[in-house]
Amino acid sequence: MKNKIVSVLFFCIMLFCLTGYTQQTEKISALSVKGTQLVNSEGSPVQLKGISTHGIAWFPEYINEECIKELKSWGVNVIRLSMYTEENGGYCTDGKKEDLKNLIKKGVEYATKYDMYVIIDWHILSDGNPNKHITEAKAFFDEMSKQYAKQKNVIYEICNEPNGNVSWEEIQTYAQQVISVIRKNDAKNIILVGTPNWCQSVDQIQPLSEFENIMYTLHFYAGTHKQELRNTMKKAIDSGLPLFVSEYGICDASGNGAIDTEQAKEWIHFLNEFHISYVMWNLSNKAETSAIFKSTQKNSFSIEDLSDSGKWFYQMMTGKNPVSTLKNTTGNFDTKDFTISAKVIHQWQDGGKYYYNYQVSIKNTSSDFKTQWNISLPFNENITLVNGWNGVFTIKQNTVWIENKDYNAFIPSGKTLENIGFIICADKNIVLQ
């Protein structure tokens, strides 16, 4: 009997460990390349969608757990860690190598914690030809691939954007050497290879067919690159090349200028049709169009802090309107005699206008029996009243004034009057002041 109990117990522990184990390993599937397609361990197509950091030397603060966790909640399943090689603070110039590697380590750690894929990007740019720093690149990727060989979620991007008349042959020479270094340590993880002319000339690629799990990158900025580049891309796909958009923007190629939402829509439609992964530039609050945060952003991650590119990205990822979250539209106000709580219980957008349904309660915090009340709620924008109940409502530009009705004028000391409500609309997102 005792033996039986022991073996049942043992069985239960084993079951627990096994299910725990499979859950952990199932979350992130090993990726591979099948034909033109990125696939999971079952061979089904996988599309990664996410965002690239700005240069990690310049915006290290975005590599933090809260940030990665928030992005995950938007549906982001890949983060690209961009480490410039030559610009100031670059890995091969005056950058602090250990600090930069520590940032990558942190980025990989957080991405792993939230079951996301993570791209380690050797961000060549002004150094145009990847061969310029090939020695450093080999040493760097040797170290990275030793460290991450067993992590299924790590992707190596060995050269961001070859440019300045660098031919495919030159890239190929570089790629063959760097990939050989990686493959000695890590036989399987995906490797992304940059293509000539800032990753646009995918028509020049001669496949590196001696290696497995290689994809070639194409980059676009919707304000600059349009149907012609999509045609080039389509031809490359048709010829059997596995492509990966490891960087794109919806503004122009300078990372600034106007947003082209029409072209952005065309691109997203096109990439989805072919299950191609895409990673947007950039996770920062730099004063440039491509940054997803406004330069005035504080430490928070609120919708109000998103730039127009950020709002577009949020909507594209979540399918939701980037309207204020409850937190930012809700207020608790203490006046001399009352504590007023104003809460958004419903919000939506219609005909270009933003609608908010507020629920208000008033607590009499004084020791007196109140026989009348009136409150004001100021917003940051002018508003229009759509409906209101259990109060007499007046709107003065950006402020809602509410007075008691005859039937709810009395609030005994310490009691709360509930169920006052109204719907307002505005031309923009609003917040309580």
Binding site for ligand IDC (CB under 6 A): 87, 125, 160-161, 198, 219, 221, 247, 253-255, 281-282, 286, 288, 290
User: If we measure between CA atoms, which residue out of 219, 292, 259, 276 comes closest to residue 59?
Assistant: 292
Which tokens belong to 36?
């033109």
* Pick 253 or 426: Cβ nearer ligand IDC: 253
* Pick 7 or 295: Cβ nearer ligand IDC: 295
Min dist. Cβ of residue 122 to ligand IDC (A): 12
* Pick 290 or 324: Cβ nearer ligand IDC: 290
Min dist. Cβ of residue 183 to ligand IDC (A): 25
Q: From the candidates 86, 157, 247, 288, which is the catalytic residue?
A: 247
Min dist. Cβ of residue 405 to ligand IDC (A): 56
Min dist. Cβ of residue 299 to ligand IDC (A): 21
Q: Does the annotation mark 86 as catalytic?
A: no
* Pick 140 or 281: Cβ nearer ligand IDC: 281
* Pick 160 or 189: Cβ nearer ligand IDC: 160
Q: How far apart are CA 141 and CA 128, in angstroms?
A: 19
* Pick 174 or 373: Cβ nearer ligand IDC: 174
* Pick 255 or 378: Cβ nearer ligand IDC: 255
- Residue entry with tokens 């109060």: 391
Minimal CB distance residue for ligand IDC: 255
Dihedral of alpha carbons 379, 380, 385, 386, sign: negative
Min dist. Cβ of residue 365 to ligand IDC (A): 51
Within 142-213, strands assigned E span 154-157, 191-193
Q: Is the peptide bond before 282 cis (omega within 30 degrees of 0)?
A: yes
Query: For the packed helices 227-238 and 261-273, what is the interaxial angle rounded to 10 degrees?
Result: 10
Q: How far apart are CA 323 and CA 345, in angstroms?
A: 13
- Residue entry with tokens 């979620």: 153
Which tokens belong to 425?
């609309």
- Residue entry with tokens 């609309």: 425
In 3-state terms the chain splits into helix, strand, coil percentages (rounded to 5) of 35, 30, 40
Which tokens belong to 150?
């067993």
Decide if 80 contacts 104 (C-beta within 8 A).
Answer: no
Min dist. Cβ of residue 55 to ligand IDC (A): 6
User: If we measure between CA atoms, which residue out of 236, 161, 142, 232 comes closest to residue 199?
Assistant: 161
Decide if 354 contacts 425 (C-beta within 8 A).
Answer: yes
Q: Does the annotation mark 109 as catalytic?
A: no
Min dist. Cβ of residue 344 to ligand IDC (A): 35
Q: From the candidates 86, 87, 161, 288, which is the catalytic residue?
A: 161
Which tokens belong to 411?
């609030």
Q: How far apart are CA 116 and CA 417, in angstroms?
A: 47
Which tokens belong to 167?
């031919």
Catalytically active residues are 161, 247
